[in-house]
Chains A and B, each alone.
Chain A
Amino acid sequence: MRFVHCADLHLDSPFECLSATNPFIAATLREATFKAFENVIDLAIAREADFILIAGDVYDGADRSLRAQLRFRDGLARAAEHGIWSFVVHGNHDPISGWEAGLHFPREVVRFGDSVDVIAFERNGELLAEIHGISYRTRDTRENLALLFRRRSSEVPAIGLLHCNVGRQAGHENYAPCDLNDLYQTGMDYWALGHIHKCLVINQSHPCIAYPGTTQGRSAREVGPHGCYLVELESSGRASNAFVEVDGVRWWNESVDIEGLASLDDLLESMRSRMERLRIDAAGRPSLVRFCLTGHGRVHRILRREDALADILEELRKGERDREDFVWVDALSDSTGNAIELETYRDSPDFIGELMRTIARFRSLPNGADALRELIAKDHGTEYSKVRRWLSEETLLSALDKAEAIALDLLLKEETP
């Protein structure tokens, strides 16, 4: 028995991309999630899979688009035309309450309800597997749904289809949290999970427990290849899964150290060669990359010039518009510093030393972010209220680092080479 396991399609959900509105790549990005889903269907057809498992988050809850629902329906219908069944559970982003378009799905599409259902999958009158699944009724589902699963038959392999956070992994919303033991106790042979956007095999041996990750990375946090699993499940319940890349556009996050670079040309050369390497890694796909310039060096002075980063960005984008496998530089951030020894100033009794000590004092405060909010709001209360929601604790601490860099740049102009 062979099936495709995918999750977190997030169809038609936007990219966290600064240049998403750029006419050149907007269309590519809008189609990327659909392209990834189409690739999943193509894979199932090409490899003659028996069925497709979709472990939740077909699209983004409140921002689900009709187009996404229709394309989803059409994709499954195409698979159904080839006799491939589809089993779908809904996750926090697409709870059952979110399906409003009144679309009619083919007979071969099974959508699980808000209680655990068991579907006996047959082929030519032969029972091949039983598939257990449950969908979220609402987004905020915090109960341990894994506990509701129980194997019924021991004669055919059992598959569990669930959108959950196994082991309450940090950095992910804690929906339907469960432990590994909860999954073991259900007696399933394969756990087709969704929710974690990174490809992750929690248990390779029996029972196989795996997250395929999202089919399409949509931000600079979701870099590298994304795809789904092609699973071979034996009648004994032993499973082997192979990861298949299906993403339509690939994200990269690269940092470039300016140390040792003598000129802007050197920097551009270094970045271009990095881009060429990424192009090869993307294997013909378009790519989006964010560069972060780090380190200390002579180029820093050039980078501090007005519009320097915009100019570099424009230079790096040259020629990419003509290619299908473009590597589009989405953003370029500058975390570089002067080629000076800041330690010299840190202890000096002069103004710079005093300033650096003041900054260090803020940084060392246990509630440093609050102190910074207070410092900002002291003279800019009205403005702060406008941007409060955008300034997280992390952002404020990052802003403090930038403030230090800006101050040193402004006050040590003559010291820079």
Chain B
Amino acid sequence: MKIRGIYIDGFGVFRDLIISDLPDGLALFLGPNESGKSTLMEFVRTVLFGPAQGQDANRYPPLRGGTHGGRLEVVTDDGDLYIAQRINGRPSLRKGNGPSEVIEPASKLCPAVNRQIFTRVFAIGLDDMRGFEVLSGSGLGLLAASAGVDASGIAGALEYLEGKTSALLKPRSKKGEINSMLEKLEQIETALCDARTQSTEYARLQQRLGELRATICSLRTSIERATSRRTWIDALQRARQAWITIQSLALAQQRLSYVKDISANIASEHESLKSRLSAIQDELSDVEHQLEKLPERDAVLSVRDEIIEISSELARFREALEELPEMTGRLRQKEAALNRRLRDLGPGWNEEMLAQADLSMEAERECRSLAQQVKDAEREVEEVRKSLKEAQAKFTETEQAYRNARDQLEKRRASWPENLEQLSTVRELLVAFRERRKWEDPVHVLLPGLLILGSVGVILLTTETSGWVLGAVLVGVLLSIYLQTRSKSSSAKAALLQLRQLARGQSGPLAECLIEFCSRHRHTEGDFEELEERLKEASRLIEEARVSRSDVERAAAERSKALERLEDTKVKLKLAEEDVRNLHQAWQKWLASRGFSCSFSPEYADTVFQLAREAREAWHDLGSMRADLKRLQEYVEVLKRRIASVFEKIGEPIDPAQVSPRHVEELADRLRSAEEKEAYRSHLSEALDKKLRDLATVKAQLEQFYAKLGVKDEASFASLCEDAERWRSNQQEIEKAQRELHAIAGSHEVLSKLEETLRSVDFQNITAERAELEAELPRLEAKLEDALREEATCEARLAELASDEKLSRALAERQALALRIREAAEEWAAHVLCHALIAETKRVYERERQPAVLRTAAAYLDGIAKERYKLVEDIVSGTVELESENLSRRRECEWSRGMAEQVYLAVRLAFIEEFAREKEIPPVILDDVLVNCDPERQLAVCRVIASFAMKHQVLVFTCHPELADRLVAGATQAGYPWAIPCYRLKDGTLESVLEFAPNRR
């Protein structure tokens, strides 16, 4: 595949770039740095393969406008023309004039090459050539680079796979993942073997359990039998003693059989009779003794009814005694209260008057009316008196004001002048003098005179008419002024004279001051001002004196008015006092007529009636209380006398005044005590009679008792009782033994059997039998216990087996583990296979392809290097080395940069050769890949490139103009047959196109 034309719409610095008619062989693109060579290479890469992975589709944006992208015109090896286009990242391909197809152009044009291979092998720049790291590491780098695989891919992959397989499974260790799982599986299998025996064990255990249960049943029967026999023997042994006791006592009972019917209570019955007899005798003597000790009959019993009657009055008597002082006290309080009310009513009031006074409503109304009149009259007298006092005070006040005003007026009259007219005349004279006195000054006379003289002189000296006229006017004016001045000066003197005369006619300070002023020869302005001040003062004094005179007149008028009012008030007071006296006399008359005290004042008319009524009510209460008290006192006196008479009757007289409730109580107590003693006496008498009767009864009973038993006396009765007691004791012993036997037997049937056995048994034999049983039983019990224990164990184990999930768990675990092992084994196999396949592929690749590539590369290198080198693959290390003619080898790390780049270039060209044998390949683009070579080596490389370009299209990009010459020279040497176009690029534009014909040069 060859590029025929390049058309760029906009890509980096390029805009509307057109490069057409590119040759099939070599083409040179020359331009300085930044002229766009690398951009052009990237354009070719991008249009054919698209942007690199992870890069923006619109990389290299059109800096100078235009649509991003462009197209390439390519011709395939088959001669077909294709237009590969990529506009704004969208690819398309068109064959000839056919329709466009949206497809990655390279996928159709050179499907065996991807962008990675193209970038690393076909379109290489200086950076790609400098990629030492591409080949570093191991010799596989060369292979990898040529194989389109990541540099460290194969080695890294093999290393990873080895690690992975080793981690999964180790040949002899247990640490691998699968190893440990296999080991675990073995353990599970062992556990499973154990668990699988569960069913067998269950069946066996069930059988054993059946046997055990039968054994247990048999053992229990044997034990029960032995235990039962032993119990029987024990019963016989226990019953033996009782049996013997019964047999021996039976004989004694036969002898005493005559008393068997005598009751066991007979003795107690006898004893009871005896004790009763004795007790009655004791009681009898005791009663007699008590009767003797009782005292004589008390006298109070004779006045019993009176004492009872008085005692019934005791409560009332006591209340009366308590109430008497209390009532007296209340009476005193009432009396005091009544007295207080009487005092409140006023002096002269007593109980008699209170009873007589008319307290009716009519009297009250009259009293109130009359009292009101008196009060009104008294109030009027009071008001007139008050007015009199006020009139008196007013008169005193006006009298005082009048005197004060008169004194003030006298004080004003002491100063001059008398009136304001004179003072005004003085002021006018003074003003006239002040105005005219300055004309008296000589200057005022001399100056106009001199001016006149001067004017006359001028007139005289001037000969012209106008001078005369002017001089005459001036003289006239000055003359007039002079005359005026003289007139005024004389007027001032006249005024001063007149002033002095006026002052001499007066007295006082102002007059003295004026005289002194007039007597001066010279008067200053200060003198005038001082005099002016004096005049003002005099004017003010005259004004004040005028005001004082009017004040005196007014005060005199007010004083005469006050005096008049005072006289009127005095007359009014006399009349009012007369009225009051008359009313008081009427009041006293009314009081006498109604029975009231004369001390009753009218002012209390409102309250006296109320108070008098209350006092009368209290007086009534007091009367009833006095009657009650009297009745109570009479009752107490009567009762006391009755009590005293009772005491007199019983022979213990007392003073009636000293009688108190205590005496009544004393009488009652004594009566009660006497009655009790009397009752006791009669009781004792009755008891004595009863005891005598009881004694006779008991004696008769005792005699009947002896007769019934057939004994004569108490001694023979005692012998009978002794025999009866012995018989009973024997009988109890026999019954006890029989009970014991019954208890041992437990039932009547067994008792019969027991008694039968006891009659015939040999106790020596059964003792031996018991010893044997005693030894046998523990053995049987031990066997039973063992069997029970084993039964429990069996049952537990059966239950355990029934609920045991061991097998289930182990199976589940094995199943899960087997799955995991299978997965892990598959993974291991996959990794082992992967490793083996990569290794195998590497081997095949190296064997079948790599040597041819290396051979071709060596041939190219041979044309470049000064020495003859051979590219050799070291089989052991898998690296590529350079072997010189003397067979010395240089490893990759020992190559110089220039040498390394030559090797890489040679290898790439060789790889392309190999690739091109089977596949369509893209053109080769070399971007300044020779800069690290010396000129001689550059020429050699150019020769190789030219010879390579005879088979494949090669586009050489450079910024070194001399390289163009070397390329042409190299092409010439290589016999390159065609012209070489040289496209000069500058700043993103195609500057010129030259064409070299190497064969001609």
A residues within 8 Å of B by Cβ? 12-21, 26, 29-30, 62-67, 69-70, 99-102, 344, 347-352, 354-355, 358-359, 362, 372, 375-376, 378-380, 382-383, 386-387, 390-391, 395-396, 398-400, 402-404, 406-407, 410-415, 417
Helix, strand, loop or mixed for chain A's interface? helix
The complex places the Cα of A101 from the Cα of B804 at a distance, in Å, of 14
Residue contact A348 to B112, C-beta cutoff 8 Å: yes
Bits for B144-161, please: 1 = Cβ < 8 Å to A, else 0: 101111100110110011
Q: Residue of B at shortest CB range from A377? A: B832
Task: List the 9 closest A-B pairs by CB distance, nearest first.
Answer: A351-B147, A102-B203, A402-B830, A410-B157, A403-B834, A100-B199, A382-B171, A14-B815, A399-B829
The chain A residue with its CB closest to the CB of B153 is A411
**Residues of B contacting A396 in the complex (Cβ-Cβ under 8 angstroms):** 829
CA distance A90 to B914 in the complex (A): 71
Chain B contacts to A: CB under 8 angstroms: 53, 107, 111-112, 114, 116-117, 143-144, 146-150, 153-154, 156-157, 160-161, 165, 169-172, 178-179, 182, 192, 195-196, 198-200, 202-203, 206-207, 801-805, 807-809, 811-823, 825-834, 836-838, 840-842, 844-845, 849, 914-915, 918-919
CA gap between A351 and B838 in the complex, in Å: 9
Contact A21:B148 (CB < 8 A) given known A382-B172, A399-B830: no
Number of A-B residue pairs having CB atoms within 8 Å of each other in the complex: 222
* A350 CB contact (under 8 Å) in B149, B821, B822: B149
Selected contact of B815 from candidates A17, A355, A378, CB within 8 Å: A17
Q: Report whether A402 and B822 are in contact in the complex, using a CB–CB cutoff of 8 Å.
A: no
Q: A66-B198, A351-B148 are in contact. Are A14 and B808 (CB under 8 A)?
A: yes
Inter-subunit contact B802/A70 (CB<8 Å): yes
If A349-B915, A399-B829 touch, does A62 touch B169 (CB 8 Å cutoff)?
A: no
Q: How far is the CA of A39 from the CA of B825 in the complex (A)?
A: 39
- Do A30 and B809 have beta carbons less than 8 Å apart? yes
Nearest opposing residue in chain B for A98, CB measure: B199
Residues A67 and B803 in contact, CB atoms below 8 Å apart: yes
Q: Is the CB of B819 within 8 A of A18?
A: yes
Say yes or no: B148 contacts A354, CB within 8 Å: no
Residue pair B825, A390 in contact (C-beta under 8 Å): yes
| Known contacts A101-B202, A378-B836, A403-B833; A410/B156 CB under 8 A | yes
Q: Knowing that A12-B808, A101-B202, A351-B841 touch, tell me 20 more A-B residue pairs with CB under 8 angstroms.
A: A16-B815, A26-B809, A63-B196, A65-B811, A66-B801, A66-B807, A67-B807, A67-B808, A101-B203, A349-B918, A349-B919, A350-B146, A375-B836, A375-B840, A376-B833, A383-B165, A390-B818, A391-B825, A411-B150, A412-B150
Contact: A20 with B816, CB < 8 Å? yes
A99 to B200, alpha carbons, bound, how many Å?
Answer: 9
Closest B residue to A347 using CB positions: B112
Residue from B195, B206, B803, B812 having most chain A Cβ neighbours under 10 A: B812
The prevalent SS among residues of B at the interface is helix
Question: B837 touches which one: A382, A390, A398, A403 (CB < 8 A)?
Answer: A403
Known A-B contacts A376-B829, A402-B830; the reply to A351 vs B150 at CB < 8 A is no
Q: A359-B837, A403-B833 are in contact. Are A414 and B116 (CB under 8 A)?
A: yes
Tell whether, in the assembled complex, residue A387 and residue B807 are in contact, meaning their CB atoms are under 8 Å apart.
no
Write out the residue numbers on chain A whose beta carbons fall within 8 Å of the beta carbon of B157: 407, 410-411
Give complex CA distance A372, B835 in Å: 12
- Complex Cα distance A359/B812, Å? 37
Task: Give, as a whole number of angstroms, the nearest-CB distance from A120 to chain B.
Answer: 31
Whether A66 and B804, one on each chain, are in contact in the complex, defined by CB atoms closer than 8 angstroms, is yes
Contact in complex: A21, B803 (CB < 8 Å): no
How far apart are the CA atoms of A355 and B153 in the complex, in Å? 13
Contacts of B111 in A (CB 8 A): 344, 347
Give the distance in Å from the alpha carbon of A101 to the alpha carbon of B206 in the complex: 9
Taking A30-B808, A66-B199, A383-B170 as contacts, is the C-beta distance between A407 and B838 under 8 angstroms? yes
Q: List 11 A-B contacts (CB under 8 A).
A: A344-B114, A350-B149, A351-B144, A355-B841, A376-B832, A380-B165, A386-B179, A386-B182, A387-B178, A395-B826, A407-B157
Q: Contact between B196 and A102 (Cβ–Cβ < 8 Å)?
A: no
Report the bound CA distance from A382 to B53 in whole Å. 44
| Shortest beta-carbon distance from A16 to chain B in Å | 6
A351:B143 contact, CB within 8 angstroms: yes
Rounded to whole Å, the gap between the CB of A401 and the closest CB of chain B is: 8
When distances are taken between beta carbons in the complex, the residues of chain B under 8 Å from A355 are 837-838, 841
A394's nearest neighbour on chain B, judged by CB, is B826
Contact (A358, B840) CB under 8 Å given A102-B206, A344-B111: yes
Alpha-carbon separation in the docked complex, A31 to B171 (Å): 39
Q: Contact: B809 with A67, CB < 8 Å?
A: no
A101 touches B828 (CB 8 A): no
CB-defined contacts of B199 to chain A, threshold 8 Å: 64, 66, 69, 99-101
Q: How far is the CB of B619 from chain A (nearest CB, A)?
A: 110
A residues near B801, Cβ cutoff 8 Å: 66
A residues near B844, Cβ cutoff 8 Å:
354, 358
> Do residues A26 and B198 form an inter-chain contact, with CB atoms below 8 A?
no
Tell me the bound Cα distance from A375 to B192 in angstroms: 35
Q: Which residues of A contact B849 (CB under 8 A)?
A: 349, 354
A273 to chain B minimum Cβ distance, whole angstroms, is 27
Residues of A within 8 A of B834 (CB): 402-404, 406-407, 410
Partner of A387, one of B147, B815, B828, B919: B828
Alpha-carbon separation in the docked complex, A391 to B822 (Å) = 7
CA distance A30 to B812 in the complex (A): 8
In Å, the complex CA distance between A300 and B563 comes to 143
Tell whether, in the assembled complex, residue A19 and residue B829 are in contact, meaning their CB atoms are under 8 Å apart. Answer: no
**Which residues of chain B are within 8 angstroms of A406 by Cβ–Cβ distance?**
161, 830-831, 834
Q: Which residue of A lies closest to B820 (CB)?
A: A18
Alpha-carbon distance between A21 and B185 when the two chains are bound, in angstroms = 13
How far, in whole Å, are A167 and B397 apart by their CA atoms in the complex?
165
- Are A62's CB and B148's CB within 8 A? no
Contact indicator B149/A372 (Cβ below 8 Å): no
Q: How far is the CA of A382 from the CA of B169 in the complex (A)?
A: 10
Asked whether B845 lies within 8 Å of A65 as measured between CB atoms, the reply is: no
Q: A349-B915, A386-B169 are known contacts. Are A407 and B837 too (CB-CB below 8 A)?
A: yes
List of B residues within 8 angstroms of A398 by Cβ: 826
User: Are A351 and B836 closer than 8 Å at their CB atoms?
Assistant: no
Q: Is there an interface contact between B826 and A402, defined as CB atoms closer than 8 Å? A: yes
Known: A100-B200, A402-B826. A20 touches B812 (CB 8 A): yes
